């Protein structure tokens, strides 16, 4: 499968990256995971505006879902009149998107999106098998392992340290692991990981390659890499918005 990083900035966009959004393509099927602010623009650099077969949302924090509001206009008024797009998200996804419009009743979103509620477990979408596990985060959030063609990628979504995440990622060829914070700074518990913890998770899960995601632009990327490299000895890098990766 092929991965395009549409955005990987943590919490707010950076000068070079939208917030979280990842495109996975295999066998002619295009799956979008998360739709953070700015991702709709980046999407159009990779595929046609309408060339998305399904969207999966890890959770409903703004930096992971708000561009589905903008995307609803693109699909609703497009002259090609596309069919409803399957959207898989936690309980309350439709209401969360309606809040962005601040309209009641539900602004006809179900005419554009076909909403499905996900819980930890397995779903099949086109050629992809997705396994979801709840993360350690203040709201319901699922990490997602995607498998296709004998290869696998695990996306941590947002998570503080989590044994369930380690189990989900076990043996993945590629691990996109959040590394929001650096060592040595006080941080709230049970929200995000430090880069060193991302490395620890990658080591415990014995992944083939680790890419740090959800980093914060006012911190030093090189420091994040250095700290992760002390806890993970395998291939390591920072995810780059706009880059593509063969998994």
Interface residues with Zn ion (CB under 5 A) are 61, 63, 158
> What is the closest distance, in whole angstroms, from the C-beta atom of residue 156 to Zn ion in the complex?
10
Look at the alpha carbons of 65, 69, 72, 73 in this order and tell me if their dihedral is positive or negative. negative
The nearest distance, CB 59 to Zn ion, in angstroms, is 6
DSSP character at residue 123:
E
Residue closer to Zn ion, measured from CB, 63 or 107: 63
Cα(231)–Cα(245) distance, integer angstroms: 23
Closest CA to 159 of 34, 9, 59, 24: 59
CB of 80 to Zn ion, least distance (A): 32
User: How near is the Cβ of 105 to Zn ion at its closest, in Å?
Assistant: 27
Q: Are 247 and 153 in contact, with CB atoms under 8 Å apart? A: yes
Instruction: Between 178 and 227, name the residue whose CB sits nearer to Zn ion.
Output: 178
Backbone conformation region of residue 108, classed left if phi is above 0, alpha if psi is from -120 to 50, else beta: left
Identify each DSSP E strand in the chain by its residue range. 2-7, 21-26, 29-33, 54-56, 85-89, 113-117, 121-125, 128-134, 142-148, 151-155, 174-178, 210-213, 236-238, 244-246
Residue 89 DSSP SS3: strand
Nearest to Zn ion of 103, 190 (CB atom): 190
- Minimum distance from residue 246 beta carbon to Zn ion (Å): 26
Q: Which is nearer to Zn ion, 36 or 112 (CB)?
A: 36
| Closer residue to Zn ion in complex, CB, 12/29 | 12
């Amino acid at each position: 499968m092929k991965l395009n990083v549409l955005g990987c900035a943590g919490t707010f966009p950076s000068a070079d990256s939208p917030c979280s959004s990842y495109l996975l393509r295999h066998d002619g099927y295009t799956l979008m995971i998360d739709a953070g602010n700015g991702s709709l623009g980046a999407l159009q650099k990779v595929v046609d505006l309408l060339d998305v077969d399904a969207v999966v949302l890890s959770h409903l924090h703004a930096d992971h879902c708000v561009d589905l509001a903008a995307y609803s206009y693109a699909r609703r008024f497009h002259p090609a009149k596309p069919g409803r797009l399957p959207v898989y998200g936690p309980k309350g996804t439709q209401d969360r998107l309606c809040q962005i419009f601040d309209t009641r009743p539900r602004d006809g979103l179900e005419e554009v999106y076909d909403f499905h509620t996900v819980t930890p477990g397995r779903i099949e979408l086109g050629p992809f098998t997705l396994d979801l596990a709840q993360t350690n985060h203040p709201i319901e959030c699922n990490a997602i392992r995607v498998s296709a063609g004998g290869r696998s990628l695990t996306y941590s979504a947002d998570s503080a340290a989590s044994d369930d995440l380690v189990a989900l990622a076990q043996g993945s060829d590629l691990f996109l692991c959040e590394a929001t914070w650096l060592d040595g700074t006080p941080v709230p518990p049970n929200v995000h990981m430090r880069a060193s913890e991302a490395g620890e998770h990658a080591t415990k899960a014995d992944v083939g390659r680790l890419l740090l995601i959800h980093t914060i632009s006012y911190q030093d990327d090189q420091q994040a890499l250095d700290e992760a490299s002390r806890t993970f000895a395998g291939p390591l890098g920072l995810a780059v918005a706009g880059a593509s990766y063969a998994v």
